[in-house]
Chains A and B, each alone.
Chain A
Amino acid sequence: MKYIDPHIHMVSRTTDDYQRMALAGCVAVTEPAFWAGFDRSSAQGFFDYFRQLTEYEPRRAAQAGIQHFTWLCINPKEADDPAFARDVIALIPEFLKCETVLGIGEIGLNKNTRNEQIILEEQIALAETHNQLVLVHTPHLEDKRKGTRLIMDALQASSIDPGRILIDHVEEHTVGEVLDRGFWAGMTLYPDTKMTPQRAADVIEMYGSERIWMNSAGDWGCSDPLAVPKAQQEMRRRGHTTQLIDQVTYSNPQKFLSQSPRFHVAET
């Protein structure tokens, strides 16, 4: 069954992951810019990373028959030094011209600091100026609910339509508020700190299938690039319809992402 993994960090994954994902039905991925597991020492490090995301990774994905799109930003974990963050932000407008860039992301908060908040607001303004979609990272663990509310407040102070913003890494204590405020919600199927395929299926049952998607957020940590097809399997064994499963793993991401004229899944 085909699916889109709308949040996965393929720069941290191997080529055989692409092959296994293709075998499992993956037709497209979107890759937000994120923290590499270490702090880059200069803005030049981000320049090279943005080239990797926009030039190299789409070619590597294409070899497995998967379309690759990307999002650009300085991630919240490296945004705590505003001067450094601004040097990186200055690089982004040029890269927004690349044909596989869908928007600004994953921006947000990590430790819920004022410095992170300042850079979040500046990146929201960047998205506003360039009419870009926004993909939002929310903090993990005990910081999530507070951070998610702060981020939503900052977004709603802008002129960006909430329907063009996806708030990712929602869990049971944040998903309702995210949807009620008009945003899209992303569920990250990540073994230790986020959500299992079973809980994701539970959330669909409790909060419905509108404006919601699932992703693996596969990266260099303990994560599973096949998490989305595993969630499909979980829904299938509970007796959910093929139509519902397709909606949350293919049609919904396609609908949200297609708000960017650059996103188009080739019909096979």
Chain B
Amino acid sequence: MKDVTETCPLNRGQVMAMYFLEHRARLLDVAAFLDRLDRSCGQESPDFREQALYSAIGLLSDGQPHRTARILALLSDCTDELPQSAEGMKGALGAVPLTEGDSE
């Protein structure tokens, strides 16, 4: 992937000052969502979206660049088949079972 070192005009301290509180709040939203999933009623096992989300969270802390692109790739359909028609197909769900995904 493209080398994007030092492409933001702000220094590290400025980025932190400008964006920390906003993203602290978003992180708490994610945490609360996961807590809500755990507190939900019924015995259903986690579906592929939950597994995809935890895999994506792993990419956040791997210290490598292009986290956004890699998470989007992880959540992408990597199959080659083309159905003839959309008849009866469900809407996009935002993730695929991980066996079909990759982390290109």
Contact = CB atoms under 8 A, between A and B. Distances in A.
Interface of A: 80, 110-117, 139-146, 150, 171-173, 176, 198-199, 202, 205-207, 237-240
A198 to B, nearest CB: 8
Q: Is the interface of A mostly helix, strand, loop or mixed?
A: helix
Interface residues of B, number: 32
Contacts of B94: 141-142
Contacts of B76: 142, 144-146, 173
A172 B85 CA distance: 28
A171 B72 contact: yes
Nearest to A192: B94
B8 A205 contact: yes
A205 B92 contact: no
Contacts of A206: 2, 4, 7
Contact of A173 (B10, B69, B83): B69
A157 to B, nearest CB: 16
A173 B72 contact: yes
A146 B82 CA distance: 10
A140 B83 CA distance: 17
Given A80-B86, A113-B84, A173 B18 contact: no
Given A142-B77, A143-B77, A238-B10, A114 B83 contact: yes
Contacts of B85: 80, 113-115
A139 B4 CA distance: 27
A115 B84 contact: yes
Contacts of A205: 4, 7-9
A144 B4 CA distance: 23
Contacts of B96: 142
